[in-house]
Amino acid sequence: MKKYLTIILFSFSFLSFGQNTPKEIVSIFFTQYKDEGASQALDNLYKNNKWINRATDAITNLKQQLEALNEDYVGKYYGYELITEKKLSDSFILMSYLVKYDRQPIRFTFQFYKPNNEWITFSFKYDGNIDEEIEESAKVYYLNLKN
């Protein structure tokens, strides 16, 4: 009986190996981003998507832009915080993060899609417009005013 239990447990752990959740994929991305740089982190982020080879120019451009977020341009990197996670369904998730630098915050947005059994990176983008959005959200017409 113990042999069967061991085999079943081993088989289960083997099957689950490599099937990362979106949170795990993002965590690995940020670790590699900090330790190995943007290019390596992006390569590994999209490694789970076989369709990405059709967008090599776009990925190359994204790598160059992300590599430009260096200490000379935005200052020291201090880490990241989850802004929001939006779930369209059990198969499509958006995760937005505030990435902290000396000069300014940058938003990194990840989208993940699960067409069958495994999550793939559907898209990644970044922008520095988060201050404009929070300012816009404070406008009177967004407030719930009571009479």
Residue 104 has pLDDT above 80, yes or no: yes
* Confidence class for position 147, pLDDT limits 50, 70, 90: low
pLDDT for 53: 66
In Å, how far are 55, 65, 97, 98, 99 from 136, measured between CA atoms?
A: 34, 26, 19, 17, 20
pLDDT band at residue 99 using 50, 70 and 90 as cut-offs: very high
pLDDT value of position 55: 64
Instruction: Indicate the pLDDT class of residue 59, thresholds 50, 70 and 90.
Output: confident
Q: Which domains does the chain have, with CATH numbers?
A: 21-142 (3.10.450.50)
- Report yes or no: 80 and 67 within 8 Å, Cβ to Cβ: no
pLDDT bucket at 83, cuts 50 / 70 / 90:
very high
The answer, yes or no, to whether residue 58 has pLDDT greater than 90, is no
pLDDT in tens, 9-57: 333 333 444 568 999 999 999 999 999 999 999 999 999 888 776 667 7
Cut 0.85: pTM above it: no
| Secondary structure letter of residue 48 according to DSSP | T
Mean pLDDT throughout 52-65? Answer: 77
For residues 146 and 64, give the distance between their C-alpha atoms in angstroms, rounded to a whole number.
49
Would you say residue 3 has pLDDT above 70? no
